[in-house]
Amino acid sequence: MSIHEEEKLGKAYDARLIRRLLRYTKPHKGLLILSLVLVALITIAELSGPYLIKVAIDDHINGLHLPMVDMQGEEVPKGVPAVQLDERVLVREKKLSGKLEPESLAMKPVFYIEKQGDMYALMEWRADGAERFMVKRLTEEEVDRFRDQDVRGLYWLSGLYLFLVSSAFLLNYGQTYILNLIAQRIIRKMRSDMFAHLQRLSFSFFDRNPVGRLVTRVTNDTQTLNEMYSNVMINLLKDFCMLAGIMVFMLLLNVKLALVAFLTLPLIVGATFVYRKYAREALREVRSKLSRINAALNENITGMRVVQMFHREQRQFDKVHAINRSHFDANNRELHLSSLYRPVMDFIYAIGLALIIWYGGGQMVSGVLEFGVLYAFIDYVNRFFKPIQDMAEKFTVLQQSMVSSERIFQMLDERDELPEPTAPRHLDNVKGEIRFEHVSFAYNPNEPVLHDVDLTISPGETVAFVGATGAGKSSIISLLCRFYDVQQGRITIDGVDVRDLPKKELRGHIGLVQQDVFLFSDDIKTNIRLGNEHIDDEKVREICRFVNADAFIEKLPRQYDEPILERGVNLSAGQRQLLAVARTLAFNPSILILDEATANIDTETELLIQDAFAKISKGRTTLIVAHRLSTIQHADKIVVLHKGRIREIGSHQELLRQDGLYRKLYELQYREAYRA
Question: What is the predicted pLDDT for the residue at 22?
Answer: 78
Residue 293: Cβ within 10 Å count = 17
Condensed to tens digits (0 to 9), the pLDDT of residues 128-178 reads 555 678 888 888 888 888 888 888 888 988 999 999 999 989 998 888 888
Partners of 309 in beta bridges: none
CB-hemisphere CA count at 13 Å for 617? Answer: 23
The pLDDT of residue 14 is 66
State how far the Cα of 641 lies from the Cα of 240, in Å rounded to an integer: 70
Q: Is the Cβ–Cβ distance between 51 and 376 less than 8 Å?
A: yes
Crossing angle of helices 313-365/265-302, nearest 10°? 160
The beta-carbon contacts of 394-397 under 8 Å, at least 24 apart in sequence, are 394/231, 394/232, 394/235, 394/236, 394/239, 395/272, 395/275, 395/276, 395/279, 396/279, 396/283, 396/338, 397/224, 397/227, 397/228, 397/231, 397/232
Amino acid letter at 570? N
The pLDDT value recorded for residue 669 is 66
Other C-beta atoms closer than 10 Å to the C-beta of 13 total 11
Which 8-state DSSP code applies to residue 56? I
C-alpha 246/C-alpha 249 separation (Å) is: 5
The answer to whether the beta carbons of residues 423 and 500 sit under 8 Å apart is yes
Residue type, 328: F
Which has the higher per-residue pLDDT, 373 or 203? 373
Among 619, 648, 323, smallest CA distance to 466 is for 648
pLDDT on residue 671: 57
pLDDT value for 187: 83
DSSP code, position 671: H
Are 225 and 187 within 8 A, CB to CB?
Answer: yes
Mean local confidence (pLDDT), 26-42: 86
3-state secondary structure of 635: coil
Amino acid at 667: E
Q: Alpha helices, DSSP H only, in 91-133?
A: 93-96, 102-106
**Res. 12: pLDDT tops 80:** no
Could you give the count of Cα atoms lying within 13 Å of 598 in the half-sphere of its Cβ? 20
| Residue 162: per-residue pLDDT | 92
pLDDT in tens, 310-363: 566 777 777 778 878 877 877 777 777 777 777 777 788 788 888 888 888 777
List the single range of 32-36, 38-42, 578-582, 639-643 with lowest mean pLDDT.
578-582
pTM of the model: 0.65
- Edge-to-edge order in the sheet of strand 621-625: 510-514, 591-595, 621-625, 462-466, 637-642, 645-650
Least confident of 149-158, 204-213, 440-449: 204-213
- Tell me whether residue 457 is exposed, middle or buried, using C-beta atoms within 10 angstroms of its C-beta: 0 to 12, 13 to 18, 19 or more: buried
In the predicted model, is pLDDT for residue 456 greater than 70? yes
Per-residue pLDDT tens digits for 173-199: 888 888 888 888 888 888 888 888 887
CB 673, CB 603: distance < 8 Å:
no
Distance between CA 369 and CA 593 in Å, rounded? Answer: 91
CA 294 to chain CA centroid, Å, is 16
Cβ neighbours, 10 Å, residue 362: 11
| Residue 676 predicted with pLDDT over 50 | no
Q: What is the pLDDT of residues 216-273, one digit of tens each?
A: 778 777 777 777 777 777 677 778 888 888 888 888 888 888 888 888 888 877 877 7
Structural domains of the chain ordered from first start: 14-58+154-412 (1.20.1560.10), 434-675 (3.40.50.300)
Q: Could you give the C-alpha distances from 395 to 275, 337, 383, 391, 622, in angstroms and in order?
A: 9, 12, 18, 5, 60
Tell whether the model's pLDDT for residue 514 goes beyond 60: yes
C-beta separation of 642 from 467 below 8 A: yes
Pick from 432, 455, 447, 437: which is nearest to 641 by CA?
A: 455
How are the residues of the chain apportioned to helix, strand and coil, as percentages rounded to the nearest 5? 60, 15, 25
Arithmetic mean of pLDDT, 599-603:
58
In whole angstroms, what is the distance from residue 596 CA to residue 290 CA? 37
- Cβ atoms within 10 Å, residue 170: 13
